[in-house]
């Protein structure tokens, strides 16, 4: 009975990880709520009974505590200049808490809570070496299946609901995150195929075919990072084998396999290979060094709140108003780094805590014994290291689908020989946590489907759709009311100030109030040229003036707009932002419908 339940639990854990990917990487609220509900059910039915010790418990608790510190009173510390200006000079409704957007921060804290609880749950699994091997094979087979589906959709042009990648290059909206997961799965597939062929098992050829599918899907993502992670991971896996005399003898076989894979990429790499060979255009501001400019600005922003950060969910609007080196009309969603994103929103204590946790995890993975299954476990360890390294230049750790993969592989990489301490309090605690997560998942799902309950990003998207409809139908009163409701949830979103200013100016002629809203919008979005153009149109139409209401500033004339830049300006439609990716990790500023 025990082995059967463990087997079912293992399949459920792997299945949840794969579903997190299949649901478009779980970047939407409906997918996140579904994954949280499923995971809560598994933890409720099969709670862990092992204590990991003091270090991980303290690290995870402090990590959550730092995130919740965003709900402390803002008066308990020194107000940063951006907040003082918005709250005192412009009377923006930022509230009394450290986080100016408490509802969005609460939703982000909920997602963080799930990640921390799920991490502990996976690391506390009492898997035997045989069950670990089966779990890795099952997970790798799932990645191969997803790779096959990704290739088919890319070739046929068929779009799977929930897969929102603009060019249909995988399941994540960002193709680099799809490539990240494919690279990790490719490392495991390579290790499994290599060991099976080395033992002259025919099933090795099936895994080799699966590796070919992953490689093909990796090429179609058009991501250089995925290719680098894949080949670097394989090299490190072979280097790790040199420490074991038995495997060191197969180095020649491994080198020949690696050369074969490189040759195949050179022959069939297509446009992805061309990205490696093509020299960067010095006149292109979105070349590789633009990532460094974004990170330079992110470091400066993090220093305004170095200990506890600005609060989860607040990076984008605050960064946009303070960026200098990377100033551009395209808005930046994230700082091109998991570590910097963490530092900006949670302060620099959080990365230090993560490093302490990683040091503990590394000690639990070593050493590797001379026995069956250790080579595959070493592949999981290498895959996690690649995932961590990629976090310095991308944000896979901030996406639920990819972090579930990283956590599963981190748990499978643990040494089975490390002693585990059973404690009576672990199971009841996790059942309580599972109930909390279940309630949170139900709240998110209800918010996605209805207007009932506390607001979330789904509520905000519905209000945005109402504003768009009211603007297109010239219903100014409804537009103003909806903008007020949106600002109660997201008071750092400049588009709602712009919409409210436009509606109020045309409906009541409240020029002073509109002037303040335009000033707030300018502060939160100082780089988008058409904001002033549209503001000037509103002012000119209402008061026959040819200048906007910003003191000392004028709207740009149409002739001053750079020709042929319409492709860099997205439009809001049906409550969702349609963007054309011009920079990595960037999105174009949403363009409000101008009422004239």
Helices within 29-128 (DSSP H only): 29-45, 54-68, 81-84, 102-123
Q: pLDDT tens digit string along 335-361?
A: 989 999 999 999 999 999 999 999 999
Confidence of residue 290 (pLDDT cuts 50, 70, 90): confident
569 has a pLDDT exceeding 80: no
d(CA 484, CA 497): 9
Average pLDDT for the chain: 84
Burial (CB count <10 Å: 0-12, 13-18, 19+), residue 481: middle
Lowest model confidence (mean pLDDT) among 169-178, 183-192, 304-313, 325-334: 325-334
How confident is the model at residue 580, as a pLDDT?
32
- Structure confidence at residue 280 as a pLDDT band (50, 70, 90): low
Residue 326 sits at the vertex; the CA angle it makes with 325 and 330, to the nearest 5 degrees, is 155
User: Quick one: average pLDDT of 74-99?
Assistant: 89
Q: What is the pLDDT of residue 45?
A: 95
How many C-beta atoms lie closer than 10 Å to residue 177's C-beta? Answer: 29
Q: Is the pLDDT assigned to residue 127 strictly greater than 60?
A: yes
Length of the chain: 596
Q: Is the pLDDT of residue 505 over 90?
A: no
Domain 457-588 classified CATH 3.20.10.10? no
Over residues 452-471, mean pLDDT: 93
**Which of 162-166, 289-293, 361-365, 439-443 is the least confident region?**
289-293
Distance CA 499, CA 590 (A): 12
**H helix runs in 99-250, sequence order:** 102-123, 129-156, 175-198, 203-220, 224-241, 245-248
pLDDT for res 591: 39
Comparing 250 with 204, which gets the higher pLDDT?
204
Q: Where are the domains of the chain?
A: 457-588
């Amino acid at each position: 009975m025990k082995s059967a339940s463990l087997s079912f639990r293992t399949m459920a854990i792997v299945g949840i990880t794969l579903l997190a990917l299949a649901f478009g990487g779980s970047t939407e609220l409906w997918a996140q709520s579904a994954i949280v509900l499923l995971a809560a059910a598994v933890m409720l039915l099969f709670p862990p009974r092992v204590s990991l010790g003091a270090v991980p418990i303290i690290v995870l608790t402090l990590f959550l505590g730092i995130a919740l510190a965003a709900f402390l009173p803002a008066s308990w510390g020194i107000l940063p200049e951006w907040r003082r200006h918005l709250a005192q000079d412009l009377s923006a409704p930022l509230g009394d808490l450290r986080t100016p957007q408490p509802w969005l921060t609460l939703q982000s804290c909920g997602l963080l809570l799930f990640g921390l609880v799920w991490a502990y749950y996976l690391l506390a699994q009492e898997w035997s070496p045989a069950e670990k091997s089966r779990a890795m094979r099952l997970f790798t087979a799932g990645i191969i299946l997803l790779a096959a589906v990704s290739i088919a959709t890319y070739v046929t042009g068929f779009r799977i609901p929930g897969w929102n990648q603009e060019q249909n290059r995988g399941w994540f909206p960002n193709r680099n995150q799809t490539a990240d997961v494919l690279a990790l799965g490719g490392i495991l597939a390579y290790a499994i195929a290599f060991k099976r062929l080395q033992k002259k098992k025919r099933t090795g050829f099936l895994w080799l075919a699966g590796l070919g599918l992953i490689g093909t899907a990796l090429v179609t993502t058009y991501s250089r990072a995925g290719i680098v992670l894949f080949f670097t991971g394989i090299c490190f896996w072979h280097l790790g084998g040199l420490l074991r005399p038995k495997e060191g003898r197969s180095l020649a076989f491994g080198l020949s396999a690696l050369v074969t894979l490189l040759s195949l990429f050179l022959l069939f790499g297509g446009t992805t290979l061309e990205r490696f060979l093509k020299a960067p255009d010095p006149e292109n501001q979105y070349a590789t060094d633009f990532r460094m400019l974004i990170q330079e600005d992110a470091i400066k922003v993090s220093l305004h709140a170095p200990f506890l950060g600005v609060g989860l969910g607040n990076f984008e609007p605050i960064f946009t108003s303070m960026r200098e080196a990377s100033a551009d009309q395209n808005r930046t969603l994230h700082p091109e780094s998991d570590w910097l994103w963490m530092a900006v929103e949670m302060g620099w204590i959080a990365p230090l805590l993560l490093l302490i946790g990683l040091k503990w995890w590394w000690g639990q993975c070593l050493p590797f014994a001379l026995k069956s299954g250790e080579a595959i476990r070493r592949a999981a360890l290498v895959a996690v290291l690649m995932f961590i390294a990629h976090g310095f230049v991308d944000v896979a750790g901030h996406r639920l689908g990819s972090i579930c993969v990283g956590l599963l592989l981190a748990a499978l990489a643990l040494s089975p020989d490390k002693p585990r301490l059973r404690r009576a309090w672990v199971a009841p605690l996790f059942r309580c946590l599972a109930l909390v997560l279940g309630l949170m998942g139900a709240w998110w799902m209800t918010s996605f489907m209805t207007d009932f309950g506390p607001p979330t990003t789904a509520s905000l998207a519905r209000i945005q759709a109402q504003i768009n409809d009211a603007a297109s139908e010239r219903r100014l009163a409804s537009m103003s009311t909806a903008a007020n409701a949106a600002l109660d949830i997201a008071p750092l979103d400049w588009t709602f100030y712009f919409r409210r200013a436009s509606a109020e100016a045309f409906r009541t002629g409240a020029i002073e109030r509109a002037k303040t809203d335009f000033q707030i919008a300018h502060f939160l979005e100082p780089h988008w040229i058409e904001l002033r153009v549209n503001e000037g149109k509103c002012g000119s139409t209402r008061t026959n003036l040819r200048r906007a209401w910003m003191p000392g500033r004028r709207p740009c004339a149409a002739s001053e707009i750079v020709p042929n830049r319409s492709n860099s300006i997205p439009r809001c439609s049906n409550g969702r932002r349609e963007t054309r990716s011009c920079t990595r990790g960037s999105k174009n500023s949403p363009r409000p419908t101008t009422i004239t």
